[in-house]
């Protein structure tokens, strides 16, 4: 007996045509079946909406285990995608369906990319007027808070953790420790090299560079940056202040960097040609982007 009926009437008709004892109990509880079905549909709708609207809560409906509910979500998405495919509308791939289910299971907002408008209205990741004003006033912390809370920008999470505001984004112990290391490496380099720039000045410059990159981005999901785009503008800002690009936490050197020994040394490092000579080989921005840019665009 299945609960997937479009109405109580179709369920009743099925019961009337089937005389097996297996249907007997279920047919006597037509009224009980459909409230459960309607509750399930409502829960799935709320969970899909929660991906793009942080104020919407995703809750597992009564009577379902976590695994059973996620299986229902996956089945419904497959059915919907198949229907859309038949009428020539954009539909989800198997990988995208898995990504949606994973996002719901982890209660992640806006970490699902490539969802057709037929399923979920796309997020607006563009820079708001308020965010522009915050950055221009130099309040980069408020800027990043708004990017996270209003625009669901995954880069904002990393930025807030880096500035010691991990509690605002429920940062894990590992995320906080990683941010502490990159902060220590960058601040130590600035101090050891006697550079005339503060961390706050760099923070303001990075916020402005982020705005420029977001405004210019029209790739795949407009105004949602990829790890490479984030790394590029960090490298440009660092270059302005004579800071090596490998001190950006998303493209660490292929080795262990110790910033406060002899002005900074790379242990067990790999060196490669760079535009200015030989230097530490950096890891690609995509190498471990799942740790610092989860939910970012995948192109370019």
Q: How do residues 180-235 score in pLDDT, each as one tens digit?
A: 888 888 998 898 889 999 999 999 999 999 999 999 988 877 788 999 999 999 99
Q: Is 114 part of any domain? A: no
Residue 148 within a domain: yes
Does residue 227 contact residue 287 with C-beta atoms inside 8 Å? no
Last residue in a domain, options 105, 139, 165:
105
Q: Give pLDDT tens digits for 249-269.
A: 888 876 555 554 444 544 444
Structural domain contains residue 2: no
Residue 111 domain flag? no
Percent of all residues in the chain with a pLDDT value above 90, rounded to a whole number = 24
pLDDT at 150: 83
Stronger pLDDT, 20 or 108, i.e. the higher one: 108
Whether residues 39 and 135 share a domain: the answer is no
User: Which residue among 105, 121, 152 closes a domain?
Assistant: 105
Q: Using a cut of 0.75, tell me whether the model's pTM lies above it.
A: no
Element (H, E) at 158: helix 154-162
Averaged over 112-123, what is the pLDDT?
Answer: 42
Residue 222 CB contacts under 8 Å (≥ 6 apart), including other chains = 125, 126
pLDDT tens profile 177-190: 888 888 888 998 89
Q: Which of 73-87, 98-112, 135-149 has the lowest mean pLDDT?
A: 98-112
Q: Which of 20, 16, 42 is nearest to 30 (CA)?
A: 16
- Do 71 and 195 belong to one domain? no
Count structural domains, the chain.
Answer: 2
Same domain, 227 and 171: yes
Q: Minimum mean pLDDT among 48-52, 158-162, 221-225, 234-238: which range?
A: 48-52
Query: Domain span at residue 233?
Result: 129-292
Are residues 60 and 200 both part of a single domain? no
Backbone angles phi, psi at 192, to 5 degrees: -65, -35
The mean per-residue pLDDT over the stretch 3-20 comes to 51
My answer on whether 260 and 189 are in the same domain is yes
Question: In this predicted structure, what is the pLDDT of residue 13?
Answer: 57
Indicate the Cα dihedral angle 118, 120, 124, 125, nearest 10°.
-120
Per-residue confidence (pLDDT) for residue 273, from 0 to 100: 44
247 within domain boundaries: yes
Same domain, 96 and 135: no
Do both 135 and 219 map to the same domain? yes
**Listed residues 56, 71, 105: the one ending a domain:** 105
H helix count then E strand count, the chain: 12, 4
Considering the domain boundaries, does residue 214 fall inside one? Answer: yes
Q: Do 41 and 158 belong together in one domain?
A: no
Same domain, 238 and 152: yes
Q: How confident is the model at residue 112 (pLDDT cuts 50, 70, 90)?
A: very low
Within-domain flag for 37: yes
Examine residue 115 and state whether it is found in any structural domain, yes or no.
no
Domain check: are 93 and 171 in the same one?
no
Do both 253 and 191 map to the same domain? yes
Tally Cβ neighbours within 10 Å of residue 274.
14
pLDDT score of 114 more than 50: no
H or E, element range at 4: none
Least confidently predicted of 8-12, 119-123, 162-166, 234-238: 119-123
């Amino acid at each position: 007996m299945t609960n997937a009926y479009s109405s109580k009437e179709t369920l009743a008709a099925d019961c009337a045509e089937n005389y097996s004892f297996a249907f007997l109990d279920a047919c006597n509880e037509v009224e009980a079946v459909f409230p459960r079905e309607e509750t399930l549909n409502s829960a799935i709708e709320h969970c899909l909406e929660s991906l793009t609207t942080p104020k919407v809560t995703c809750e597992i409906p009564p009577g379902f285990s976590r695994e059973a509910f996620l299986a229902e979500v996956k089945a419904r998405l497959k059915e919907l995608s198949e229907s859309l495919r038949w009428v020539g509308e954009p539909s989800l791939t198997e990988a995208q369906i898995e990504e949606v289910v994973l996002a719901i299971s982890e209660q992640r907002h806006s970490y699902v990319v490539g969802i057709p408008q037929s399923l979920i209205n796309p997020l607006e990741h563009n820079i708001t007027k308020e965010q522009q004003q915050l950055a221009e006033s130099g309040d980069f912390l408020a800027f990043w808070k708004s990017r996270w809370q209003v625009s669901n920008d995954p880069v904002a999470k990393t930025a807030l953790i880096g500035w010691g505001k991990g509690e605002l984004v429920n940062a894990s112990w590992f995320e906080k420790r990683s941010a502490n290391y990159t902060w220590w490496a960058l601040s130590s380099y600035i101090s050891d090299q006697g550079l005339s720039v503060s961390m706050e000045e760099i923070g303001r410059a990075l916020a402005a560079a982020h705005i420029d990159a977001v405004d210019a981005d029209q790739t795949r999901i407009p105004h949602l940056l990829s790890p490479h785009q984030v790394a590029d503008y960090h490298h440009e800002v660092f270059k302005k202040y004579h800071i090596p690009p490998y001190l950006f936490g998303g493209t660490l050197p292929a080795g262990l960097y110790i910033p406060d020994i002899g002005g900074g040394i790379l242990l067990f490092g790999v060196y490669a040609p760079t535009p200015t000579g030989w230097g530490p080989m950096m890891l690609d921005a995509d190498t471990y982007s799942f740790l610092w840019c989860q939910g970012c665009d995948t192109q370019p």
